Amino acid sequence: MHRKLFLSLLLLLGLSWTVAAQIPPRPYASYLEYPKYGGTCELGVGPANDPFEQRVELLPTFGVKFSRYVFIGAGAGINYFSSAYRELSDFWMFPIYANVRAFVPTGTSWFVPFVDFKPGYSFGLSPTGVNGVYLSVGAGFAIKMVTLSLGYGHQAAGFKFGKEQNTTSIGGLSLKIGVDL
């Protein structure tokens, strides 16, 4: 009885080795296969036009990484502008943007430099009625799943003051930290 059980188990083990030997080994791990769906979520801070005005932005992006070198996606975020001046009010913006990110090949999988470009349009969420073209450009690097970048954010702002239509530009340097999703 024990001998039949032992021989049966030995036969099953031999069959499993035979089946496993028929499957060719994969030359690359699955995390290197493209296209890959994913994204990033970045938190940025920086001054707006002047050191007394601050900007905070949260920019999630989802898309496709077509190769080791190119990611194309889109996102919708939130930007907050605060001012130290009493005559200017704080306001919120809702940017909708495309995102193109190009990665620089370094030969390592844990440290990858990149350049980032986000053109779009931003809608005002505050009663000020501020709307306008949104643009963010930057350069940085990814270490594993964390990104760090320095860039410039531009927000064209058109708004009404009484019956008068005004336009201005709000922009400045931005330091962003992010996470790959």
Q: Which of 82, 99, 104, 78 is nearest to 91 (CA)?
A: 82
Sort strands 78-83 and 53-65 into parallel, antiparallel or unpaired.
Answer: antiparallel
Is 7 contained in some domain?
A: no
pLDDT at residue 124 is higher than 90: no
- DSSP H stretches of helix in 90-176: none
pLDDT at residue 16 is higher than 50: no
How much is the pLDDT for 167? 76
Which of the given ranges, 33-37, 50-54, 146-150, has the highest pLDDT on average? 146-150
How much is the pLDDT for 59? 96
pLDDT digits (tens, 9 = 90+) for 62-102: 999 999 899 999 999 999 888 765 555 688 899 999 999 99
How much is the pLDDT for 130? 76
> What residue has token string 């024990």?
2
Is 17 contained in some domain?
A: no
Report d(CA 161, CA 98) in Å as an integer: 30
How much is the pLDDT for 131? 85
Whether the model clears a pTM of 0.85, i.e. scores above it, the answer is no
We report the CATH number of the domain holding residue 52 as 2.40.160.20
Q: Give the chain's domain count.
A: 1
Is 19 contained in some domain?
A: no
More confident: 7 or 61: 61
Domain that holds residue 176: 35-180
Report d(CA 171, CA 49) in Å as an integer: 6
Mean pLDDT of 140-155: 93
Report d(CA 11, CA 19) in Å as an integer: 12
Is 60 contained in some domain?
A: yes
